[in-house]
Amino acid sequence: MISMFDLDAEDIDEKAAFRAQVRALVWNETKRRLGIAENEHPHSPNALAPTSAAALRVHLMHLKVATEVGKDAHDLAADAAKRAGRAGASYADLGLAVDLTRQAARKRWPGAVGTQWVLCLLTGKSHPHGAVTQVFRSEEKAIAAGLTAVDEGAFADDGAVAAVVVDSSGQAVWACRFDSGTLSPQKITLPEGLQSVPATGQDGHGEWTYRWQQHIIALLQDTSG
C-alpha cells in the first residue's frame, strides 16, 4: 500500500480536492432532500447544535446519502474492474491501481479477470495457412462464432478450417476443426503441447500457430485418406 509520505505535494492536493468535491456533493444532496437551499443554513454538517432535533434530522439524512454514494461507488468500481479485466488486466494490475495486493483484488472482484475470450481461426480450405483472432465477452459467444466460421468455411477457398477459444489465462477451453466426412465442424481435444496459447504479439505465438497448423493439416489428411 502506498504511504502518504510517498506522494508528492501535488498528488496530496489533488486527492484532497477530490475528497472535498465528493463531500460537497453529498452535503448538497442532503440539503436538497431536506428542502434546504444550498445557500441556506446550515452551511456544513457541523453548523448545528450537536444535540438538537434539527441536527439529528440533518445527520441522519447525511448518513443516508453518504451510504448511497458509497454503494454507487462500490458498484462503479466493480464495473470498472470487470471492464479492465475484459481489456486484459490481471488481478495484479487491478490491485496496483487501488493499492491492494493481488489476492485482495481477487477477493474484492471475483470473476473480473478471465472475462475475455479470444477466438483463433485457422483459414485456408485446401491448405491451412492463415490465422485470425477475435475477442469476445463470453465463452458461449466465442464458441458459437467459431462453430459458425468453421461451418461456413467449407464454402470459401480461404474459409476457416479450425477454431480454438482461449481464456484470459491463455488456456484453450474449446477447439474444433472441419470434418470432410460429415461436412460439419467436429469438436476436438488439442494435444497437451497446444493447450497453452501465447497471446497475439507475445513470444511463442507464431510458433504455437505453426504447430496448430501442422496438427490440423495432419487431421485433415487422416480424414481425406
Q: 135, 118 in Cβ contact below 8 A?
A: yes
Name 223's Cβ contacts closer than 8 Å, sequence gap at least 6.
179, 180, 181
Q: What is the pLDDT of residue 2?
A: 47
Name 83's Cβ contacts closer than 8 Å, sequence gap at least 6.
none
Q: Which helix (H) or strand (E) holds 96?
A: helix 91-97
Q: Is the pLDDT of residue 223 over 80?
A: no
Give pTM, 2 decimals.
0.54
Each residue of 105-123: pLDDT tens digit?
A: 989 998 788 667 899 999 9
Each residue of 197-215: pLDDT tens digit?
A: 998 888 899 999 999 999 9
Give the type of residue at 121.
L
Mean pLDDT estimate for the chain: 88
Each residue of 52-89: pLDDT tens digit?
A: 888 999 999 999 999 999 999 999 999 999 888 877 78
